[in-house]
Amino acid sequence: MAALRFTNIIGTGSYLPEKVLTNADLEAMVDTSHEWIYARTGISQRHIAADGETTCDLAEQAARRAVQAAQISTDSIDLIIVATTTADQVFPSTACLLQERLDIHGCPAFDVQAVCTGFIYALDIADKFIRTGNCQRALVVGAETFSRIIDWSDRGTCVLFGDGAGAVVVESGPTPGILSTHLHADGAYKDLLSVPVGISTGFRQIIEGTAYTQMQGSEVFKVAVRALGDVVEEALQANELDKDKIDWLVPHQANLRIINATAKRLGIPMQRVVVTVERHGNTSAASIPLAFDEAVRNGRIQRGQRVIFEGFGGGFTWGSILFTY
């Protein structure tokens, strides 16, 4: 009988662009104020990619830091998955572009598009590759230059988003790491949060640079809180665990009100919730690995602790991953 294979996170990394856009900066750009933004979102600042700085640039920096933390060589990586909504090109995939940057050859490399849940989808896929014996070591990245699809005259969206990248290296091991993954989607909500054009429906708007994010905020909030609470409960029930056995909740960093509401519904104290949204804003697929890397590097999240990732994004998509770090 073949030995059971488990997926373990062995290295984390992240990267934020140098440019910081504060709420005070936004006051000069759009009809808003720091007080208005912070009261509704919990965000004080966000990082914005420089002109010419691409999603792959951000992904490369985060990936190299994760590889360094894992203390491995890049030629031992046999799978690359990049979760992004803001790919550098129509094709090749950002994962293939990253593969070339890292001088890795021959292994599968592809992108996943599930917007803010993208990293959870990507890590789920890597876990299945490892559990089925088709991969020994994978690089999973969430990276976004979301500022490129924002209308900076729309105060309902421009105050929310930022750019960044986060990455993990995972490998096959004999002891349980990832315990369970739970993915969901419902396209019936597609119009509540979207960029409503694409290559086949609005190519001219893409060329003109007017393909922007549109959001119905209050409706998104209601569905997000319910879905995020449900998907964490699903993970706990699947593993027959009480919430008191969870050391850390690492949520998608969309909005502090959503994070607070979800934690309250689950009965998880905020002292056990990793929150970076005040300084990063919503970095879409990058937000969970960014927050996780920060908490690992500052010593809050320790080896042997149980962690839950939870995400929610346009589509709608949502999901959770429960693991022992």
In 3D space, the residue among 276, 221, 226, 237 whose CA is nearest the CA of residue 253 turns out to be: 276
Q: What percent of the chain has pLDDT over 70?
A: 99
- Find out whether 161 and 213 touch, Cβ atoms under 8 Å: yes
- Find out whether 59 and 143 touch, Cβ atoms under 8 Å: yes
Is the pTM higher than 0.85? The answer reads yes
pLDDT score for 201 = 84
The answer, yes or no, to whether residue 137 has pLDDT greater than 80, is yes
- Find out whether 114 and 185 touch, Cβ atoms under 8 Å: yes
The answer, yes or no, to whether residue 192 has pLDDT greater than 90, is yes
pLDDT score for 2 = 60
Pairing of strands 6-15, 45-48: unpaired
Least confident of 13-17, 161-165, 192-196, 265-269: 265-269
- Find out whether 253 and 280 touch, Cβ atoms under 8 Å: yes
The answer, yes or no, to whether residue 232 has pLDDT greater than 80, is yes
Domains and their CATH numbers in the chain:
6-175 (3.40.47.10), 179-324 (3.40.47.10)
pLDDT score for 266 = 87
Residue 205 pLDDT level (bands cut at 50, 70, 90): confident
What average pLDDT does range 232-238 have in this prediction? 97
The torsion region of residue 125 among left (phi > 0), alpha (psi -120 to 50) and beta comes to alpha
Catalytic residue among 8, 23, 255, 282: 282
Can 252 be counted among the known catalytic residues?
Answer: yes
Catalytic residue among 23, 47, 96, 116: 116
In 3D space, the residue among 289, 319, 123 whose CA is nearest the CA of residue 227 turns out to be: 319
Q: DSSP secondary structure string, 85-151?
A: SS-SSSSS-HHHHHHHHTT--SS-EEEE--GGGHHHHHHHHHHHHHHTTS-SEEEEEEEE-GGGG--
220 φ, ψ to 5°?
A: -60, -45
pLDDT score for 50 = 98
Catalytic residue among 47, 252, 255, 280: 252
What average pLDDT does range 159-187 have in this prediction? 97
Mean pLDDT of the chain: 96
The string over 218-248, giving b where at least 16 C-beta atoms fall within 10 Å of a residue's C-beta and e elsewhere, is eebeebbbebbbbbbebbbeeeebeeeebbb
Alpha carbon distance 39, 314 (integer Å): 23
pLDDT in tens, 72-98: 999 999 999 999 999 999 999 999 999
Least confident of 40-49, 200-209, 212-221: 200-209
pLDDT score for 208 = 77
Residue 270 pLDDT level (bands cut at 50, 70, 90): very high
What average pLDDT does range 310-324 have in this prediction? 98
The answer, yes or no, to whether residue 287 has pLDDT greater than 60, is yes
Q: What percent of the chain has pLDDT over 90?
A: 93
